[in-house]
């Protein structure tokens, strides 16, 4: 059993809150700044693949950890339930991308949804 199978989002929230609070960084982790940090870390993740590079596995783990940190931190700062946000969006995705229409296609959804 991998760690993902036993670690909850609440566990991650508690660990991030401990880390930030121990450093007295709560005052710096405003939603705007956390959103920016999340985007920057996503950029660092993309950079690993730039110019068809094959990312080093350790670097990839680091950037995934960074992205997850700020994603979960964002949900802390905005007091949102991340699982609920995910489930709600997945319901919308199921509606927006019905498998009967999109299976095997990678074009933009407006191509088959009449510009919706």
- What whole-number distance in Å separates Cα of residue 113 and Cα of residue 42? 29
Near Mg ion by CB under 5 A, which window of 12-20, 63-71, 77-85, 106-114? 63-71
Nearer to Mg ion, 47 or 81 (CB): 47
| x/- track of binding to Mg ion for residues 69-108 (CB under 5 A) | ----------------------------------------
Please give the DSSP secondary-structure letter assigned to residue 71. H
Contact 66, 26 (CB under 8 A): no
DSSP state of 54: -
Q: What is the Cα–Cα distance from 63 to 78, expressed in whole angstroms?
A: 23
Half-sphere exposure of 19 toward its Cβ, with a 13 Å CA cutoff? Answer: 12
Nearer to Mg ion, 60 or 66 (CB): 66
Give residue number: closest CB to Mg ion.
66
**Among 22, 20, 24, 25, residue whose Cα is nearest residue 72:** 20
- Stretch in the footprint of Mg ion (CB under 5 A) among 5-13, 44-52, 96-104, 106-114: 44-52
Q: Are 38 and 70 in contact (CB under 8 A)?
A: yes
Q: Does 44 bind Mg ion (CB under 5 A)?
A: yes
Indicate whether 66 belongs to the interface with Mg ion (CB under 5 A): yes
> CB-wise, 67 or 76, nearer to Mg ion?
67
Q: Which residues bind Mg ion (CB under 5 A)?
A: 41, 44, 66
């Amino acid at each position: 059993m991998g760690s993902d199978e036993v670690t909850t989002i609440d566990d991650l929230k508690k660990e991030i809150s401990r880390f930030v609070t121990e450093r007295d960084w709560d005052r710096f982790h405003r939603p705007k700044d956390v959103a920016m940090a999340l985007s920057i870390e996503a950029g660092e993740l993309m950079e690993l693949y730039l110019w068809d590079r094959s990312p080093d596995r350790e670097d990839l783990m680091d950037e995934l950890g960074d992205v997850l940190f700020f994603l979960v931190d964002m949900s802390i700062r905005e007091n949102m339930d991340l699982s609920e946000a995910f489930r709600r969006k997945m319901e919308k995705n199921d509606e927006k991308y019905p498998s009967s229409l999109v299976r095997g296609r990678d074009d933009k959804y407006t191509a088959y949804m009449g510009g919706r």
